[in-house]
Every structure is written in structure tokens, then in C-alpha cells.
């Protein structure tokens, strides 16, 4: 056992969020402190927040060691959280200070709790009763002892705030001061349970029992879109709440949280805590503190919600577990799916990985017996999986600059006649991916990156999808200065909108692309309107593949099923398979049967054939065999190393030296490939060089990588990033 309590003046080690690669020595403050306590310490001229990590090292003159300023009034960091941060740091080769930053992403943690006015039922009803006054009192009575802010109360009652103020004067409503960081309302596990189908019941029972047992375990919950996976895992959440533990549901896309929160409210009677980049700073602080005190039972959020200080975590659900956005691509490079499993294993908690199209990683873990597997086989209600077919583009007549084949046009027309919706899917934002000068052949690129600029006609600008840089559409070629020779090449969703509108002038056509909305809220509202029948033809990017419901949709047309197959990414086939199946799954969710048509120039490609045949197991088995053969994840280990610098010579020089001096890696049998220019060789003005390290599954890769990288001194301005299990290869 390590010592956990320190008396005043004892030497203690404090981990801070400052980028120093060691725990710093301080003296314990008056009153002493515990391991795990959040403290404020002096660092140079500043005061910073840290966590007491253990005994001090004592390699510094005791008299010069400074004292902790104060212990903060927040729940101390629990042992399992400290272990989680350490293990995650080791796995991702991340300094502990960066891990602590992830775990303390709420402003003003150390501040004393601020107060605000709240309102609750007071004494006698007023002598003069009005309709509006009656509404306010009814709300307060309906919600029992709950207190409201002025705004909440007025809004819920549907009156102006002056009505509430008037009631305060009469004494019928009491006004008092309460801490701003209020506990989240209690969720009722039995509030709105649905009658589950036999299939769903069986799944829910297994998950409920696992959660109630209070041990670690991971279950892959597989089922086509609409089979009721969400209903089933909400039962696991209910069991978790009943057991007095906290639950976390991770979603891949903020745009989906609104719809999901509504479902939670319908199921449990109250809203859960929300955690993602769209949450305000004060609300973040409230969530962080309440999660730590066990006064937020359910958190719905983005991947960083894994690093909240749960008091008693019992369940983590990773919805759409295959989604690539679970991999954080800058800062700390972690995969939230894997970290969820790590965190749960340290908390004796359960993990549910839900997906219609699981990642090969999870599929392999089921095969290896590490994860359990639950399957929901049919869609809820009368809905069935759509029928799928390929449209062989080699035998379709399509004019140049157009992409909708006659076969697809016919299918859309039939839907319009029946009053049903069609979705045209193209995973390319903007108007056209290439802007080409027909005089000299020049393609307009980004000045900062080796990437083409994409025309966004809606915004009237060219945009770089790497760095976000935009510029106005030029009228002359930047290279040869020819006038009016620039032309759009290739399709983007905006351009598809033009083509489809021309083909079906009487139909209501909408383009759904995240960059066309000012806010997540605006997008949600528009999607809801479309879902209720506000459009005949929807043109969309990947956004629509992620969980939105369109009950009137019966046709999905995929413009370019070959798009994803071209990359050098080892997961290209898997991604295409998943994406195409998900998009197809949008069709026929209600009673009307759906159809999915995929335009392709290679209908005989094994991936396309597997998608059409709907033969998942065969696809996974074939894909697994291929990866095993190649020794790549999930059957081997990989790390991607990217060196970047404004100085191209320096990155190549260091890359070459790293490849040459790779003894620490060779010692564990790992291979080093490169250096090579990264697929995107320049981003934001920084030249990028890539090395790839491949090792056997059992090799101690992280330690070897750390030893290897430690041999080199980096020139200032050169950045080295190591990505364990890279998901993207750019
Ligand atoms: P998935 O998560 O697998 O896509 P959902 O849980 O979202 O599926 O279910 C799809 C739709 O069917 C939702 O609107 C859901 O409320 C509804 N649904 C699923 N199962 C039931 C049930 N047993 N009773 C009532 N509605 C259900
Ligand atoms: Zn750029």
C-alpha cells in the first residue's frame, strides 16, 4: 500500500497540467492532504491546478520546496481514475500532464461555488388569482419540491417572468439563493419502458444481468439499423441506475445528441447530463462536479466524456462503435472505444458496443472470446432490410458532367409518384472536388497544404478540407491568367442538387451537408422537418448515414460506391462495407419496403459483391483472413510516426536517421517502413514525413517506441507524433 495521507509539511508529489514531464515536489498544506486531492500549487509566478499523486521525490533542497496553497473543494480523484490515466498514457505514449488536462476540461474547477436565485413553492396562494399565476403554481406543484430558475419557471409555465416576480411579492412563491452547480434531476428507471419484442427482451435480459452482477465485461450488440439496439441498451442503463451506479453513453456525432436526449427523457422522465464541445463553460463545470459527486446518473456525450471523474461508473455504451470519429486525431491520439474498455475493466463496469456494422477489431475480439456477442435479427415493426442491387455504370448512358444514371432516375420517379422519399448519397461536401483551368490544366490547390481546393458554391468560396482555409473563387486562372476557363470537375453534393433539380423540376429537393448549417440546432430542426415529409429527394453526405430517422424514405441511391475503395488505407474495404450498409439501412424503416441501388464501375469487386449479397459473416471472414496474412491490425500492431516541420530538409533528415537507428524496434522484431512523404505531404505549411512501424500482436511496442524516439534530439519547430493503432493514413 502506498501512503495515502500526508501531514502538514510532508513532501508530496503533485501532477500538474503543465507540460513538464515529471511530478513536482511540494509540502503538504496546513491540515494535511490525501493522495488524489485536487490542489492549487505555486509554479513560478503562477498558481496552477494539480492532483496529489503520491510521496515527493525529495531530490530537491527541502527548504526551497514550496507549499501547496490549498486543497480544492471538489471530489478527490479516485484510485481507479489515476490508474486509468496512467494506463492510457502508457498505451498512447502521452505525457501524464496531457492526460490530466483531458481529465480536467472544465473551467473554474477550483472556484468556490457561485450562487444564483431559484424559485419554489412558498406559503399561501395569493388573494388575487389569475390564469397566469395559476399556471406557475401548477408547475411548481406538479414537479414536487423541485426549484427552478426564473427563466425555467416562466418558460415551463408559459408566462412572463413578471408573473413569477409578482407571486414572490405575495409570498406564494419563495425566492432563495442556491449553488449554481445543481445536481441533475433523478432519472426513473421504470418511467417509460416499452414493450420489447422477444428478440429485444432476450438481449435486454442478458445486459441487465451483466450490469447487475457488477463485474467487468464487454458485449458487442449487433443489429441492423432500426432493430432496437438503442431500446435494448437503454434497458442496461436502467439496470445500472437501479443498481445505484452511473452510466455513460457515447455518441459519435454531436448532431445526434438532441434526438437522443429526447429519447432518454421519454424513457427515464428527465434529461441526462450532456458533455461535448457544444456545452457551455458553466454547464461543463456543473457536469464535471456533479459527476464527481455522483449527482449525475447518466452522461451522454462525445469521447472526452470518458475522462470525467465518475464516482461509481457501472456501464459505458459506445453507440455506432465502428465510427471513425471515436479516434481522436489531434492532441492525445486515443481511440475512445478501446479506452472505454480499459476504463470499464478498472471499474468493474460493463461495456456495450452497439453497431449495425461492427469494426473488424470488435468482430475479432468476439471471435477470440474476449467480448460477448448479442444479436438483434430483425427490424422493429414491419420494416425489413432493403433489397440491394448494383447499377453497372459501364452500361448506363450518362452525359459528361452528370452522374445520375437512367436506371436510378427511373427508381426516383417511381417514388415521387407514390409520394415516398428518395435519398441520393454522395460522400463529398461542396460543389465540385476539383477546379481545373481548361486552358493550361492547372488545378487550384491550397497554398498551405498539398490538397486541392473544393468549390463551395453555396458559400461562394473555395475551401481546403485539410486546413479549412477558404478563398474567393477566382475569375482568372492563377497559373496562366486565362479568363473564364476555370471549370468544375467531379461531383459534390451541391452539384448533385443542381442535377437532380434539373431532372425533377417539380420535386422538392434538399441538400443535407453539415457545412450548410449555422448550428447543430438549425440542422436538427431542418432534419426533423424533412423526416416528416418536407422533401421528396434528399441529397446527403455521410451525415445522413449516422442515425437519423426518415420514416418515409424507401429508396437510397449511392452515386459512387467505388469512392472508398481507392484509398491506400488498410481499412478501405471495411469502411466502404460499413458505410454502404448503413446508408442502405436508411431505407424502409417504416412499413414500406426499401430499395438500395449502388452505382459502380466494378460490380464484380469482392467488397461490392459482399455488400449486395448482404453476406456479412463472409465479408468479415475474408477480410480477417487477408489482414492476418498481412500481419496488420487487429492481428498485428502498428504505429504511425509523423514528423512535421516548415523545413522540408529537416523532416527528411530526421526521418532517415530514425529509420537507420531503429535497434530498439528491431530488438522486439518490429519492422520500420519509410521515411516517405505522408499522403498529404504538407498541411498548414508544415511538411510531413511518415514512418510506419509494424510488430507482432504480443510485442511490447510502446516501450520500444519510447526507447527509440528518446534517442533523437528534435530541432525546434519539428514535431514528432506517434499514433498507436492509426485509423487514418494521411
Ligand atoms: P437501432 O438503435 O437499432 O437503430 P432503435 O432502438 O432506434 O434501433 O429503434 C428504431 C425505432 O423503433 C425507434 O423509433 C424505436 O423507438 C422503435 N422501437 C424499437 N423497438 C421498439 C419496441 N419494442 N416498442 C416500440 N418502439 C420500438
Ligand atoms: Zn489547406
pLDDT (0 to 100) of residue 380: 65
- Please tell me whether residue 184 adopts helix, strand or coil conformation: coil
Q: Ligand 1 site: residues with CB under 6 angstroms?
A: 194-197, 200, 223, 225-231, 380
Ligand nearest 230 Cα, by number?
A: 1
Task: Please state whether beta strands 636-645 and 719-724 pair in parallel, antiparallel, or not at all (unpaired).
Answer: antiparallel
Cα end-to-end distance, the chain, whole Å: 46
Q: Which of 271, 298, 290, 267 is nearest to 189 (CA)?
A: 267
Residue nearest to atom 26 of ligand 1 (CA): 194
Ligand nearest 196 Cα, by number?
A: 1
Q: Are 431 and 496 in contact (CB under 8 A)?
A: no
Residue at grid coordinates 414537479: 143
Q: Which of 196, 207, 225, 226 to mutate to test the pocket of ligand 1 (most atoms within 8 A of CB)?
A: 226
Instruction: For residue 722, give the C-alpha cell.
Output: 506517434
pLDDT (0 to 100) of residue 649: 93
**CB burial of residue 238 (10 Å; 0-12, 13-18, 19+):** buried
pLDDT (0 to 100) of residue 147: 76
Between CA 357 and CA 363 the distance in angstroms is: 10
Q: Are 89 and 99 in contact (CB under 8 A)?
A: yes
| Ligand 1 atom at minimum distance from 319 CA | 2
Average pLDDT, 10 consecutive residues per value, the chain (730 residues): 78 91 91 94 92 91 92 92 96 93 84 79 85 90 78 88 92 85 91 90 96 96 89 97 97 84 94 91 90 96 95 97 87 92 97 94 94 85 74 94 96 94 90 92 89 88 86 91 91 95 96 77 81 91 72 88 74 80 72 84 87 83 87 91 94 94 95 88 90 93 95 92 82
pLDDT in tens, 180-205: 788 899 999 999 888 999 999 999 99
Residue nearest to atom 23 of ligand 1 (CA): 196
| Ligand 1 atom at minimum distance from 223 CA | 3
pTM summary value: 0.84
**Angle at CA 385, nearest 5°, toward 384 and 391?**
135
Q: How far is the CA of 227 from the centre of ligand 1 (A)?
A: 6
Ligand nearest 357 Cα, by number?
A: 1
Residue nearest to atom 20 of ligand 1 (CA): 228
Give 322-354 as a DSSP string.
T-GGGB--SSS--BHHHHHHHHHHHHT-EEEEE
Q: How far is the CA of 591 from the centre of ligand 1 (A)?
A: 13
| Ligand 1 atom at minimum distance from 547 CA | 4
Measured in residues, the chain has a length of 730
Instruction: List the shell of residues around ion ligand 2, using CB closer than 5 Å.
Output: 446, 448-449, 464, 466-467, 469
Q: How far is the CA of 333 from the centre of ligand 2 (A)?
A: 22
Q: Are 372 and 518 in contact (CB under 8 A)?
A: no
Cβ-proximal residues to 441 (8 Å cutoff; 6+ apart), any chain:
none
pLDDT (0 to 100) of residue 1: 43
Residue nearest to atom 9 of ligand 1 (CA): 228
Between CA 253 and CA 426 the distance in angstroms is: 19
**Angle at CA 624, nearest 5°, toward 622 and 626?**
70
- Cα 374 from chain centroid (whole Å): 23
| Ligand 1 atom at minimum distance from 549 CA | 14
| Ligand 1 atom at minimum distance from 234 CA | 6
pLDDT (0 to 100) of residue 2: 52
Q: Are 271 and 249 in contact (CB under 8 A)?
A: no
Q: How many CB atoms lie within 10 A of CB 59?
A: 6
DSSP 305: G
Strand-pair partners of 644: 688, 719
Cβ-proximal residues to 427 (8 Å cutoff; 6+ apart), any chain:
541, 542, 560, 563, 564, 579
Between CA 79 and CA 81 the distance in angstroms is: 5
Q: How far is the CA of 453 from the centre of ligand 2 (A)?
A: 8
pLDDT (0 to 100) of residue 730: 66
Q: Are 102 and 304 in contact (CB under 8 A)?
A: yes
- Angle of helix 606-613 relative to helix 616-630, nearest 10 degrees, comes to 150
| Ligand 1 atom at minimum distance from 197 CA | 23
Q: Which of 435, 463, 444, 466 is nearest to 682 (CA)?
A: 466
Q: Are 115 and 175 in contact (CB under 8 A)?
A: no
Q: Which of 192, 320, 358, 380 to mutate to test the pocket of ligand 1 (most atoms within 8 A of CB)?
A: 380
- Angle of helix 406-418 relative to helix 493-503, nearest 10 degrees, comes to 70
| Ligand 1 atom at minimum distance from 232 CA | 6
Q: How far is the CA of 445 from the centre of ligand 2 (A)?
A: 8
pLDDT (0 to 100) of residue 581: 79
Q: Are 482 and 489 in contact (CB under 8 A)?
A: no
DSSP 125: P
3-state helix, strand, coil in the chain (%, to 5): 35, 25, 40
Alpha helices of 55-160 — where are they, by DSSP H?
Answer: 79-92, 96-103, 131-142, 150-157
Ligand nearest 355 Cα, by number?
A: 1
Q: Are 576 and 322 in contact (CB under 8 A)?
A: no
Between CA 627 and CA 694 the distance in angstroms is: 13
Ligand nearest 450 Cα, by number?
A: 2
Amino acid at each position: 500500500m502506498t501512503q495515502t495521507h500526508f501531514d502538514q509539511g510532508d513532501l508530496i508529489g503533485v501532477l500538474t497540467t503543465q507540460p513538464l514531464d515529471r511530478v513536482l515536489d511540494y509540502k503538504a498544506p496546513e491540515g494535511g492532504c490525501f493522495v488524489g486531492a485536487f490542489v492549487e500549487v505555486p509554479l513560478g509566478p503562477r498558481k496552477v491546478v494539480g492532483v496529489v499523486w503520491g510521496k515527493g521525490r525529495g531530490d530537491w533542497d527541502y527548504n526551497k520546496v514550496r507549499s501547496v496553497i490549498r486543497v480544492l473543494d471538489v471530489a478527490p480523484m479516485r484510485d481507479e481514475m489515476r490508474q486509468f490515466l496512467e494506463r492510457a498514457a502508457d498505451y498512447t505514449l502521452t505525457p501524464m500532464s496531457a492526460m490530466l488536462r483531458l481529465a480536467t476540461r472544465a473551467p473554474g474547477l477550483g472556484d468556490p461555488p457561485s450562487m444564483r436565485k431559484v424559485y419554489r413553492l412558498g406559503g399561501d396562494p395569493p388573494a388575487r388569482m389569475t390564469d397566469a399565476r395559476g399556471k406557475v403554481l401548477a408547475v411548481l406543484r406538479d414537479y414536487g419540491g423541485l426549484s427552478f430558475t426564473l427563466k425555467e419557471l416562466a418558460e415551463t409555465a408559459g408566462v412572463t417572468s413578471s408573473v413569477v416576480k409578482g407571486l414572490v411579492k405575495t409570498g406564494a412563491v419563495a425566492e432563495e439563493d442556491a449553488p449554481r452547480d445543481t445536481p441533475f434531476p433523478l432519472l426513473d428507471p421504470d418511467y417509460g419502458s416499452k414493450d420489447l419484442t422477444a428478440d429485444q427482451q432476450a438481449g435486454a435480459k442478458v445486459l441487465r444481468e451483466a450490469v447487475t452482477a457488477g463485474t467487468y465485461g464487454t458485449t458487442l450488440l449487433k443489429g441492423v439499423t432500426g432493430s432496437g439496439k438503442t431500446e435494448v441498451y437503454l434497458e442496461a442503463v436502467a439496470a445500472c441506475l437501479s443498481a445505484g451506479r452511473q452510466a455513460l453513453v457515447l455518441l459519435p456525432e454531436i448532431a445526434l445528441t438532441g434526438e437522443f436526449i429526447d429519447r432518454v427523457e421519454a424513457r427515464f422522465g428527465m434529461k441526462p447530463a450532456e458533455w461535448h464541445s457544444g456545452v457551455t463553460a458553466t454547464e461543463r463545470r456543473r457536469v464535471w462536479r456533479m459527476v464527481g459527486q455522483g449527482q449525475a446518473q447518466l452522461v451522454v456525450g462525445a469521447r472526452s466524456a470518458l475522462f470525467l471523474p465518475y464516482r461509481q461508473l457501472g456501464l459505458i455504451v459506445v453507440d455506432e462503435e465502428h465510427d471513425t470519429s471515436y479516434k481522436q486525431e489531434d492532441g492525445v491520439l486515443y481511440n475512445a472505444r478501446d479506452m472505454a474498455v480499459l476504463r470499464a475493466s478498472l471499474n468493474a463496469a460493463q461495456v456495450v458496443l452497439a453497431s449495425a456494422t461492427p469494426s473488424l477489431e470488435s468482430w475479432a475480439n468476439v471471435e477470440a472470446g474476449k467480448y460477448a456477442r448479442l444479436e438483434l435479427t430483425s427490424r422493429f415493426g414491419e420494416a425489413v432490410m432493403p433489397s440491394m442491387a448494383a447499377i453497372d455504370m459501364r452500361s448506363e448512358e450518362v452525359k459528361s458532367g452528370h452522374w445520375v444514371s437512367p436506371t436510378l432516375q427511373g427508381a426516383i420517379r417511381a417514388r415521387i409518384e407514390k409520394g415516398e422519399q428518395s435519398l441520393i448519397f454522395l460522400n463529398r461536401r461542396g460543389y465540385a472536388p476539383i477546379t481545373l483551368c481548361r486552358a493550361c490544366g492547372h488545378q487550384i490547390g491550397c497554398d498551405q497544404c498539398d490538397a486541392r481546393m473544393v468549390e463551395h458554391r453555396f458559400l461562394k468560396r473555395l475551401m481546403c478540407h485539410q486546413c479549412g482555409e477558404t478563398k474567393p473563387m477566382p475569375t482568372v486562372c492563377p497559373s496562366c491568367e486565362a479568363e473564364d476557363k476555370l471549370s468544375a470537375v467531379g461531383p459534390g453534393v451541391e452539384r448533385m442538387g443542381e442535377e437532380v433539380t434539373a431532372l425533377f423540376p417539380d420535386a422538392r429537393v434538399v441538400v443535407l451537408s453539415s457545412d450548410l448549417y449555422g448550428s447543430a440546432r438549425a440542422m436538427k430542426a431542418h432534419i426533423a422537418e424533412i423526416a416528416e415529409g418536407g422533401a421528396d429527394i434528399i441529397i446527403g453526405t455521410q451525415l445522413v448515414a449516422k442515425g437519423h430517422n426518415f420514416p418515409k424514405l424507401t429508396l437510397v441511391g449511392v452515386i459512387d460506391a467505388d469512392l472508398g475503395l481507392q484509398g491506400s488505407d488498410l481499412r478501405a474495404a471495411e469502411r466502404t462495407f460499413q458505410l454502404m450498409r448503413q446508408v442502405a439501412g436508411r431505407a424502409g424503416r417504416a412499413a414500406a419496403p426499401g430499395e438500395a441501388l449502388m452505382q459502380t464501375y466494378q460490380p464484380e469487386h469482392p467488397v461490392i459483391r459482399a455488400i449486395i449479397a448482404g453476406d456479412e459473416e463472409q465479408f468479415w471472414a475474408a477480410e480477417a483472413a487477408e489482414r492476418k496474412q498481412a500481419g496488420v491490425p487487429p492481428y498485428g500492431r502498428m504505429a504511425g510516426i509523423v514528423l512535421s516541420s516548415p523545413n522540408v530538409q529537416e523532416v527528411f533528415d530526421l526521418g532517415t536517421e530514425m529509420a537507420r537507428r531503429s535497434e530498439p524496434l528491431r530488438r522486439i522484431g518490429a519492422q520500420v517502413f519509410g521515411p516517405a512523404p505522408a499522403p498529404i505531404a504538407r498541411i498548414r505549411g508544415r511538411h510531413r514525413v511518415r514512418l510506419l512501424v509494424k510488430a507482432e500482436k504480443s510485442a511490447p511496442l510502446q516501450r520500444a517506441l519510447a526507447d527509440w524516439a528518446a534517442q533523437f534530439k528534435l530541432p525546434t519547430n519539428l514535431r514528432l507524433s506517434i499514433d498507436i493503432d492509426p485509423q487514418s493514413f494521411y
